[in-house]
Amino acid sequence: MNNKALALVTMLLLSGCASTNPHHDGLSDIKTPGAGAIKPTNATEASMLIAQSQTSGNQDAMIYAYRQALEFKSFDKADIYLNIARLEQQRNHNSQAEEAYRLAMASDSKRPELKESLALLLVDMKRHQEADTLLQEVISADRARLNAASAAPAECVIDNQSPWRSYNGLGLLSDIREQGEQARQYYQCALKIQPGLAMLHTNLGFSYYLEGEYPQAERALTRAVNQDPEYRRAWSNLGLMYYRWGRKSEALAALRKNGTQAEALNDLGYIALMEGASEEAVGLFQRAIDASPRYYPRAVANLNQARTMSVVSKR
């Protein structure tokens, strides 16, 4: 490593002051505290700055480094903006993430994953119609690639390169709109592309649960936990589904997969409370407190809430 490169790395390790990037990159003028004030003079130095920031794990430093890289033509701007967008999204800076995704799309309009990523962010931001429009555009482009542009909206015209995230996103939006049959068509399309993904089986199972189709929900959620026994959301949804189905011992057993007996009893109590069974919830929260080897403040707070709701319901 030459002296100039060594100095660059050393400065990154030692620097702790705030820095503000000028407007040259098209992004809003956002401060990045702790990112350092290093200004690479060429693409090699910019690459080293990115690598060192990634090693540090400091998101401010990474965003700062990526923004510096935008000065040099050897970097793919769409990739740089995409990396910035993902980092901002991880920090729940959704407005900054949206801005970066849109700049990525402007830099390369032919990459459907950029549009897909923006659309999924918009789903999280509850801008459902905008998200739906973008996801449909991604699906339409994929169908055109496969020479099947005239296919029905929820029809599976796919191969292993098709955008399963877009089908999953459209499934989520359909469930939000209480269009359960259409949602499940989209999830099934996604599963044909990624059959081993527990998250997709879980979404399909929850969609069946929303419709009260418990046997189908059980099958899908069981497939999810078989694919990934550590997938907490699948176990939670199984617990919720079993409770609603009246199979309460199985509900507790499913929730137990996510933690201790006390935590499972507390979670089951919360489900009962949300279902309006406040007296049953009182008993479950008390059992959670009794089962815990130490003070369990969450269960105590839930117990107090359940007792209040039980008193109100009797008036």
pLDDT in tens, 129-157: 999 999 999 999 999 999 887 666 567 89
- pTM of the predicted protein model: 0.84
H helices of the chain, in order, are 3-14, 43-56, 59-69, 77-90, 94-107, 112-124, 128-145, 164-176, 180-193, 198-210, 214-227, 232-245, 248-256, 261-274, 278-291, 297-313
Q: What is the pLDDT of residue 148?
A: 83
**Residue 1 resides in a domain:** yes
What is the DSSP code (8-state) at residue 85?
A: H
Q: Is the per-residue pLDDT at 15 higher than 70?
A: no
Q: Which residue has the higher pLDDT, 48 or 7?
A: 48
**Residue 47 resides in a domain:** yes
Q: What's the pLDDT tens digit per position in 82-91?
A: 999 999 999 9
Segment 73-102 mean pLDDT: 97
- 84 close to 63: Cβ distance less than 8 angstroms: yes
Q: Tell me, what CATH number does 105's domain have?
A: 1.25.40.10
Indicate the SS3 state at residue 33: coil
How many domains does one find in the chain?
A: 2
Segment 236-242 mean pLDDT: 97
Segment 163-179 mean pLDDT: 97
**Residue 309 resides in a domain:** yes
Sorting pLDDT into bands at 50, 70 and 90, what band is 13? very low
The range of the structural domain enclosing residue 295 comes to 259-315
**Residue 81 resides in a domain:** yes
When the pLDDT of each residue in the chain is averaged and rounded to a whole number, the result is: 89
Q: Is the per-residue pLDDT at 62 higher than 50?
A: yes
Q: What's the pLDDT tens digit per position in 174-187?
A: 999 999 999 999 99
Q: What is the pLDDT of residue 143?
A: 92
Q: Which residue has the higher pLDDT, 37 or 122?
A: 122
Residue reference for tokens 């935008």: 70
Query: Within a 13 Å sphere around the CA of 11, how many CA atoms are in the beta-carbon half?
Result: 16
Domain boundary, last residue among 81, 110, 139: 110
